[in-house]
Structures are given as C-alpha cells and as structure tokens.
Structure 1
Amino acid sequence: MWSQKVALVLLLGAFSYATIVKRSPVKSKDEQDLSKVPGVPGHDYPIFKSVPPTNFHCGHVPYVPGMYANVETGCQAYHVCHDGREGEQGATFLCSNGTLFNQAEFACDWWYNVNCADATRLYELNLDPSKNPFFPKKKPEEEHLPVYEQY
C-alpha cells in the first residue's frame, strides 16, 4: 500500500511538471520579445536580424571618418566610414529592434524620436568636431587654460 502511494505521488508530480513545461511558451534564442517596445514591429519600425545588403557607399559621404544612417534600412542600420579597411560600406552596425540611428545625435534612439527622412540632410554634422566622435580632439594638456593675473 505504501509503495502505491509513493508511486501515485511521483506520477502526479511528473504529470504536473509536464503540464507546466507544456504550457510555457518556448522562444528560440534568436527570437526577441518586442512586447515592451511601443509601436508595431515592421510597420512603425524595421525589424532586421542583421544588416541587409544596400547601396550605401562610404565614397558618397561628405566626411571621413564619420557615422552615417542607412536610409535604405529605415535607419535601423548605420555605417562608420573611416580608413577603408572595412570595405566600401565601412563598418556596419544594426540598432536594436525598436530603435533607429539618430543622425542628429550619432546614436541609436527610440524609433519615435527619429525622422529617418532627415538623415542624409544631417550627414553634414560629421563635419562638426563636437558631434563627430571620430574627429580628432585635443588632449587636455594641449588645451590652453585661461591665464589669470595676480593682484
């Protein structure tokens, strides 16, 4: 009798575990949970898993080195054009789903903060040393500090 109770408890435990596992949705490691991202994926913002092939070319940008939104990807992808070792498209990067490359800020930002249609007009910001992170900066010891007269 005792062994039948143990067998029944083990059987019920296994059944409960199987029911829980069966009801839990299993996501692949490549699937991203977009439920917390505002908007409709694929409508309000693109949802690429990798940078798609495009016609972007670093030879057609105003300044090298620089960072450039790829409007063919809806600005989800961007390129860093520098010394050419990454090829004609430069180093390519993909913003996370729900974010786009904000050419005005040189960073990925929520899709609703980015107007991708303005991106190519803002490429000129790469000429601004305060915006372009690749623009050569003076070292602190090279900067001239103000001289104060002593009284």
Structure 2
Amino acid sequence: MMIETTKLAPVIETAIYLCQLHAAKKNIQIDCLCPEALELNINGPLLEQALVNLIVNAIKYSDPDKKVLVLAEKKSDSVAIYIKDEGFGIEQKHLERLFERFYRVDTARSRKLGGTGLGLSIVKHIVQAHEGTIRVESKLGAGSTFIITLPIGGSSD
C-alpha cells in the first residue's frame, strides 16, 4: 500500500464530489469542515474510498432535505474525521457488530436500499491499514456519527 504525505482536505472534497449526485436526488446538503493545511501520511485514494462508503451510507439512511457533515480536526497525535448525518440512527444493540462483513442492521430495508453488508467492513479494513480506528455513535431517530481516528505519523511501510 502506497503511503505518502497528503493534504486531507482535497481527499475529503473529492469523496464529497463523488457523492453529490446521490445527495442531490434526496436534496441532501453535504458540508465539509477541514483545515486546508492538515496533512497526513495516507493512501489518498484508499481513504477516499472509505469516506465515499460512509457518505453514501449517510445519504442512504437519511430522509430527504437533511444534512451530512464531514469534519476533520487535528488532535494532539492524531486526526479525527467525523461523518455526521441526521438520519434514522442505529439501535444500540447493532453498534458493536456494525463493522462485521455481511452484517446488516435491517435486512428488509437494506435489500430495498441495496446494501450488501460489506461497505462498513471495507471501511474498517482501510482504516486499520492506516493504523487507525473507526467507531460509531448513534441515537435512534437522531442520526449517526462515524469517527475515523488516524495517527499523524502514519505507517512507515
């Protein structure tokens, strides 16, 4: 995996751009807050793919006319990227299994919305390849926030 020092804002902006058509169909606004100078040792295209998966999910599981926010901020030795939606939310009992392959919260709705249960598993593997972590905070009826935390140093392979 090719890791290089990369500005994070353009990676996020490209991911959002790739999701705009999807968002427009439901009149969902995607906002981005990321310091322009923020740099990380990452594989840009791979991280972009993880962000696209998360943003598409945020759109898919939100009602029309809602907002999705992608926010990145520097912590002491890491960068946190938040993908926050105003969607349906996820029941507490599903949160710990969410990143398992083929796990779907609501199989009836997933089938209707076209989910395979692989997207979040792929995201988890991409984040782990960057020596990072991903977790989710969610409240039923109030939306979900997926939080990717990546080390600033990055991996050195």
TM-score by length of 2: 0.23
Using CA pairs under 8 Å that are at least 6 residues apart, name the structure with larger relative contact order, 1 or 2. 2
TM-score by length of 1: 0.24
Question: Which one has a bigger Cα radius of gyration?
Answer: 1
More helix, by proportion: 2
